[in-house]
Amino acid sequence: DVIRTFDQIVADFGALDGLVNNAGITRDALLVKFKDGELVSKMSLDQWQAVIDVNLTGVFLCGREAAERMVRLGSKGVIINISSISRAGNMGQTNYAAAKAGVQAMAVVWAKELARYGIRAASIAPGFINTEMVQAMKPEALAKLTANIPLRRMGEPDEIAHTVQFILENDYVSGRCFDIDGGLRL
């Protein structure tokens, strides 16, 4: 499906100049949880694999197919991977943190590997952005998270879009990750 999609893009538009690799699901669970010395739960392989498949493997496949077409067509494009500030690790998110750290690492590797073809790669690591995924959180949890953000608010999707635009327009940006988090990781 991925190959067919990218072939169709080239057939429809004649070129591929950019890719914003934006995929993300969560299946949060503690690695292991004990109570009174007894195992209560642990992250399942299904929880692990679902997140890795979408958040990491999907980004890899799209990046690979986009890069191939950019090189073949000489389009000197840009690949932007959407990571997350959670790449640094949040409790209950072994799978998500691993995937998003991998997404950021791929952008660095691709920036090095693809520069010889005039292709740039970078990543954006959003913090808490006002999206359906974040809005699905419990109101008490959202209030607590927002209180910990130095700017005292969640980000908006258009603030991520502005960062995408900045990367696309600045021909000297490559290999960097931009944390867009209201100062949360300071």
What's the average model confidence in pLDDT over 168-176?
97
pLDDT tens figures, 4-45? 999 999 999 999 999 999 988 889 889 999 999 999 999 999
**What are the chain's domains?**
2-180 (3.40.50.720)
CA pair distance 126, 153, nearest whole angstrom: 13
Q: What is the pLDDT of residue 104?
A: 97
- Check: CB of residue 70 under 8 Å from CB of residue 16: yes
What's the average model confidence in pLDDT over 63-69?
98
Give me the catalytic one of 6, 96, 128, 178.
96
pTM of the shown model: 0.91
117 in active site: no
Give Dmax over CA atoms of the chain in angstroms. Answer: 63
Q: What is the pLDDT of residue 136?
A: 85
Res 186 pLDDT > 80: no
CA pair distance 80, 89, nearest whole angstrom: 21
pLDDT tens figures, 85-113? 888 888 889 999 999 999 999 999 999 99
Q: What is the pLDDT of residue 133?
A: 78
